Structure 1
Amino acid sequence: MGALTVASLMAQLQGKRVLVLERHFKAGGFTHSFQRQKFHWDVGIHYVGQMNESSSVRQLFDLVTRKGVQWNKMPEPFEKFVYPDFQFALYGNKERYIADLLRLFPTEEKAIRHYFKDLSKAANALFLHSLRQNGTALFQVMGWLGKIVNRFPLNLTTQAYLDSHFQNPQLKALLASQWGTYGLPPAQSSFAVHATIVNHYLDGGYYPVGGAGTIAKSVEKIVEEHGGKFLLNREVTEILIENNRAVGVRVRKVNTKDVIEEYYAPAIISNAGAATTYLKLIPSNYPIPFRESLRRFMQQHPPATNVTLYLGLSSDPRQLGFQGENHWIYEDTDHNKVYGDRANWIHTGKPLQAYLSFPSLKDPKATTHTAEIITWADYDEFVKWREQPWLHRDRDYQTLKQGISQALIDLVDRHYPGFANLVEYCEVSTPITNEHFTAHPQGGIYGIAAVTERFQAENAAWMKAKTPLEGLYLTGADLVGGGIVPATIAGAITIAHIPGGIPLAQTFTTAAKFGKHEVTAQPLLVSNRVH
């Protein structure tokens, strides 16, 4: 989503010819969708917050896609947290959320009310941190001034916050139920990241009408109208450097024998992530001062990895009471234990957690019924099949995936009897599937881990839009955070750092005007040719 944002805004607002290189055979990264038989699924977007028409996030997204994507509000409640001894329905209304918590845990009223105030403080602290790291001069000043007013610590874990404010273990578990949206359990995750996610969904969830594939289609049209192009099956293998400046990229054409291409441009923007960019794409003989510290960080804090089960259903799941809401299913209230079991359950066949989603019930254009089940899994359990070709891995791998499918279906069926009888088609993707198509380290889905160490001053350098290599810029999840909205904002941040680029405030102002008047965005600069 970071790359799509950069490409669209550079084309629309600067009149640039942009070349987008995609490793996959479909554009969009984790925003793309795919089909098997009559069924369709999205690989990364399951719901998005803050997409009401008046929000600045929606306005920015409408500008990026030129209103090529419509958003369907999810039914209420939009989430259900399912535990062995209790359930909780989450509605997209902050006051109702608080009231429902107070009804269940009246003795914790003071802490609950304080928690929702701290959510705003912690999320704002993280936003101000992002301004200090990647804002232009004015925004950096705002970030530092904001830090004086808001001193909420970024080195506080979610677990430390919950333990210091709440007594009831069920309440602490419930408040942390959405940790899967940033990939780390309370003991490891930053409370500021947790707070940002919770705030993001306080007004409910939205889903792209027609599926997430409409995003890349919209941006591709914009790019091509301005003389640019999307090239698929292109894996960037090296950033080309001349006179200490990034001038282009070397590309391997996927599924061909030794076909190498080179592309040159005035500005090179990497959406591959900080680790891939600095540890793989920039030649090792080019001096990057923080390369080894980044390597150590990635070893100490490996990315969140998962398996996803894509299900085609024979009939409407509403017959079992589902309406389109997400279900966070946990077999234990100890989230740290659940995450710690991510390698063990592969062998026991008893996962402790699953996220259940129904794309077809969220999308009014869906013609067949589908579901997805996602849970965490250790990359090391799959690494021995890493070098085998996609779709042609051996029988042991296929047997393992069959066991994963059955275990996840059984888990859901125990909580919702009859679910298994609806399954007509199933397919599993694993961390090495993600790795194959994205080249993300270990097939991680959220970029650099959302640990508190991420925000330490000594680790800031690799999460900046402007890199130490002149002419090379970063965008995507590692600038702001994992997910479609942070990546979109990262794209707008990156453009502000490119010479002759667009200030962040101007981008949001343009987006607001575009939303109100539905005017066509006008180019600000003449194009630079890609040669």
Structure 2
Amino acid sequence: MKSTTQQDYDLILIGSGIGALTVASLMAQLRGKRVLILERHFIAGGFTHSFQRKGFHWDPGLHYVGQMRPGSSTRHLFDLVTHQQVQWQKMPNLFEKFVYPGLTFDLYDDPQQYQADLIERFSAEAPAIRQYFKDLKKGSAALFLDAAKQNGSFLSKLVGQVAKLWHGIDLSLTTQEYLDQHFQDPKLKALLASQWLDYGVSPAASPFALHATIATHYLNGGYYPVGGAGTIAQAVQQVVEDHNGNVLVNREVDEILLDEGQAVGVRVRNLKARDQAFEEYYAPVIISNAGAYNTYLKFIPAHYPIPFRNSLKQFVEKQSPATNVALYIGFSEDPRQLGFQGENHWIYTTFDHQAVECEKGKWLQSGQPLQAYLSFPSLKDPKATKHTAEIIALADYDSFASWRDQGWLHRDEQYQALKDRIQSVLLDLVEQHYPGFTDLVDYCEVSTPLTNEHFTDHPKGGMYGLPMLVDRFAPQNRAWTKIQTPIPGLYMTGSDVYMLGIVGSMMGALLTASQLSDGISILQAFMAAAKVKAVESNTDKPTMAKASALS
């Protein structure tokens, strides 16, 4: 195959998820770097991309984001990363519904009301509920400080050690262990864990600190990007290109190039070239947003000595990632006529979350899933022109593995028949709770773990990268997720260095940027974001020069 070479970038990022986009934008704006982003999909953005069919619009990875209140430090940072080109629509005050057999709980965007509503429903456990809300803050702090301690400076490590005396939460404490220690009512325990699919690990296996981080993230409600998640990558691509960088899609990384043990570039396959020609790109800094598994087990030559390669491989083979099926729905009429206002619905047919995890593959051939997540992109987005919904349910990878070698859009009739059954079962489950729902359906499309695997190359089509199990945080496994790799010049970013999600991956990217030789500290990034916001408020005309001038 032919090979072409280009070697005039300051920084190369593998993957275009929010972790890569954040590093690219900050290094371009605040350090003037010429950045190259490489993406194997034909659309940039990773799980922040959008897609359309017949005028209907969906976001396969982003369903809602917390902590985007105007004036918050997180919003300021996001506005800096996207150069103020992404607007956020707040979801309704009642933004989540937890639906169980005989029990429905409305979650509002006021943590005090959330606490009061829980106490009203479970008055006998009022002291434990109040303590729970205090412990959410401690658990959330514990997870971030742990990541900072693992990847930060000596000062960060010292702060992390001292802070542990305050929060007192070890990452080996599971969510279920915490709930069992503090609560008696099994329905209350289940209710508090309702959002666990946001991080993909059941309460029995997830660190309480992870649960606390997600729960805290949504205490003040949810937000949605106006125009859909695809606006995020579009905004950052403009930032990168304005600084003489580039974003290339249909580029599958084949190998990270090494010179005397140091990362110096990447070899990629151009998936759109007639002969899928190889291209080589060079830079003194390579940052992988493709996850620890792909980076260490696919991109780095097998002969290079990575001391933890076998343990990482064994972990991924043993611990299945969170995988799902999704049903994308287009409506013929406005779903608000059934009472929906844009809130998310977490539908469970059992209070046993461990059963949901254990049974995630059995329903595909018979029966129905024990849970489903129902979301309405069009009711969150004021720019939507047609009404849409998504239904997501856990499903195992093995049920689809036999079709793995059949190409996307070219799988056989049996695969299509299974997808048809998934569609029917998910619609029936929602119809049972909301009669008249199926009458509004005009278009449907099903995605499976194979879809995720094809576009993201995540092992077994996982949604979130390395599963955030307690074992992932064991001392002997820490090297997998360190930002500084054993190879000079090669760094990690994205969900594997801190945690999953839009804001989680963005914060992981801040940790990555702080580790680069001419990088940006977390404090500098937040200060630059606040200053840009102040200048914008005074002039109402933001310019690309502001971020550089204020850094």
- 1:238 maps to 2:255: yes
User: How far is the alpha carbon of 1:524 from its aligned partner?
Assistant: 7.7
Instruction: State the alpha-carbon separation in 1 of the partners of residues 297 and 367 from structure 2.
Output: 36
Aligned to 2:109: 92
Aligned to 2:213: 196
Instruction: State the alpha-carbon separation in 2 of the partners of residues 467 and 172 from structure 1.
Output: 39
Query: Is the CA contact 2:289–2:492 (under 8 Å) kept in the aligned structure 1?
Result: yes
Identify the match of residue 365 of structure 2 among 347, 362, 371: 347
Residue 398 of structure 1 aligns with an amino acid whose one-letter code is: Q
User: How far is the alpha carbon of 1:136 from its aligned partner?
Assistant: 2.7
Query: Is the CA contact 2:408–2:451 (under 8 Å) kept in the aligned structure 1?
Result: yes
Identify the match of residue 520 of structure 2 among 488, 499, 502: 502
Residue 25 of structure 2 aligns with an amino acid whose one-letter code is: S
Equivalent residues in 2 for 1:340-419, closer than 5 Å? 340-419=358-437
Instruction: State the alpha-carbon separation in 1 of the partners of residues 349 and 142 from structure 2.
Output: 33
- 1:471 maps to 2:496: no
Instruction: State the alpha-carbon separation in 2 of the partners of residues 449 and 404 from structure 1.
Output: 25
Identify the match of residue 224 of structure 1 among 230, 233, 241: 241
Cα distance change on mapping 1:512 and 1:523 into 2, 3 Å = closer
Instruction: State the alpha-carbon separation in 2 of the partners of residues 521 and 455 from structure 1.
Output: 39
Using the size of structure 1 for normalisation, the TM-score is: 0.97
Residue 254 of structure 1 aligns with an amino acid whose one-letter code is: L
Aligned to 1:521: 546
User: How far is the alpha carbon of 1:185 from its aligned partner?
Assistant: 1.3
User: How far is the alpha carbon of 1:269 from its aligned partner?
Assistant: 0.7
User: How far is the alpha carbon of 1:306 from its aligned partner?
Assistant: 0.7
Runs of 4+ in 1 over 4 A off after TM superposition: none
Instruction: State the alpha-carbon separation in 1 of the partners of residues 368 and 495 from structure 2.
Output: 32
User: How far is the alpha carbon of 1:522 from its aligned partner?
Assistant: 4.2
Instruction: State the alpha-carbon separation in 2 of the partners of residues 148 and 96 from structure 1.
Output: 30
Equivalent residues in 2 for 1:283-362, closer than 5 Å? 283-362=301-380
- 1:434 maps to 2:452: yes
Instruction: State the alpha-carbon separation in 2 of the partners of residues 36 and 522 from structure 1.
Output: 37
Instruction: State the alpha-carbon separation in 2 of the partners of residues 258 and 87 from structure 1.
Output: 53
Instruction: State the alpha-carbon separation in 2 of the partners of residues 206 and 159 from structure 1.
Output: 28
- 1:448 maps to 2:493: no
User: How far is the alpha carbon of 1:517 from its aligned partner?
Assistant: 2.1
- 1:2 maps to 2:19: yes
Instruction: State the alpha-carbon separation in 1 of the partners of residues 547 and 431 from structure 2.
Output: 53
Flag structure 1 segments of 5+ consecutive residues without an equivalent. 526-531
User: How far is the alpha carbon of 1:295 from its aligned partner?
Assistant: 1.2
Identify the match of residue 268 of structure 1 among 286, 290, 294: 286
Query: Is the CA contact 1:136–1:503 (under 8 Å) kept in the aligned structure 2?
Result: no
User: How far is the alpha carbon of 1:84 from its aligned partner?
Assistant: 1.3
Instruction: State the alpha-carbon separation in 1 of the partners of residues 187 and 311 from structure 2.
Output: 39
Residue 409 of structure 1 aligns with an amino acid whose one-letter code is: L
Residue 253 of structure 2 aligns with an amino acid whose one-letter code is: V
* Deviation larger for 7-16 or 495-504: 495-504
Residue 224 of structure 2 aligns with an amino acid whose one-letter code is: Y
Instruction: State the alpha-carbon separation in 2 of the partners of residues 425 and 308 from structure 1.
Output: 14
Aligned to 1:166: 183
| Deviations, residues 38-76 of structure 1 (Å, cap 9, x unaligned) | 101111110000001222111111100011101111002
Query: CA RMSD, aligned part only?
Result: 1.4
User: How far is the alpha carbon of 1:373 from its aligned partner?
Assistant: 0.5
User: How far is the alpha carbon of 1:166 from its aligned partner?
Assistant: 0.9
Identical aligned pairs, as a percentage?
60
Query: Is the CA contact 2:325–2:448 (under 8 Å) kept in the aligned structure 1?
Result: yes
Instruction: State the alpha-carbon separation in 2 of the partners of residues 232 and 402 from structure 1.
Output: 31
Aligned to 1:185: 202
Instruction: State the alpha-carbon separation in 2 of the partners of residues 160 and 434 from structure 1.
Output: 32
| Deviations, residues 346-371 of structure 1 (Å, cap 9, x unaligned) | 01141110000000000011010000
Instruction: State the alpha-carbon separation in 1 of the partners of residues 455 and 205 from structure 2.
Output: 27
Query: Is the CA contact 1:447–1:481 (under 8 Å) kept in the aligned structure 2?
Result: no
Instruction: State the alpha-carbon separation in 2 of the partners of residues 200 and 218 from structure 1.
Output: 24
Identify the match of residue 77 of structure 1 among 87, 94, 97: 94
| Deviations, residues 14-38 of structure 1 (Å, cap 9, x unaligned) | 1111111011000101000011011
Identify the match of residue 209 of structure 1 among 226, 229, 250: 226
Count of residues paired in the alignment: 526
User: How far is the alpha carbon of 1:503 from its aligned partner?
Assistant: 1.6
Query: Is the CA contact 2:328–2:445 (under 8 Å) kept in the aligned structure 1?
Result: yes
User: How far is the alpha carbon of 1:259 from its aligned partner?
Assistant: 1.3
Other structure's SS at 1:510 match: helix
Aligned to 1:121: 138
User: How far is the alpha carbon of 1:294 from its aligned partner?
Assistant: 1.0
Query: Is the CA contact 1:13–1:521 (under 8 Å) kept in the aligned structure 2?
Result: no
Query: Is the CA contact 2:288–2:491 (under 8 Å) kept in the aligned structure 1?
Result: yes
Flag structure 2 segments of 5+ consecutive residues without an equivalent. 1-17, 537-541
User: How far is the alpha carbon of 1:258 from its aligned partner?
Assistant: 3.6
User: How far is the alpha carbon of 1:151 from its aligned partner?
Assistant: 2.1
Identify the match of residue 147 of structure 2 among 130, 145, 158: 130
Aligned to 2:296: 278
Residue 83 of structure 1 aligns with an amino acid whose one-letter code is: Y
| Deviations, residues 216-235 of structure 1 (Å, cap 9, x unaligned) | 00000010000011111001
Other structure's SS at 2:176 match: helix
Other structure's SS at 1:48 match: coil
Instruction: State the alpha-carbon separation in 2 of the partners of residues 515 and 138 from structure 1.
Output: 29
Residue 472 of structure 1 aligns with an amino acid whose one-letter code is: L
User: How far is the alpha carbon of 1:457 from its aligned partner?
Assistant: 1.4
Instruction: State the alpha-carbon separation in 2 of the partners of residues 242 and 302 from structure 1.
Output: 35
Residue 347 of structure 2 aligns with an amino acid whose one-letter code is: I
Other structure's SS at 1:375 match: strand
User: How far is the alpha carbon of 1:430 from its aligned partner?
Assistant: 0.7
Residue 56 of structure 2 aligns with an amino acid whose one-letter code is: F
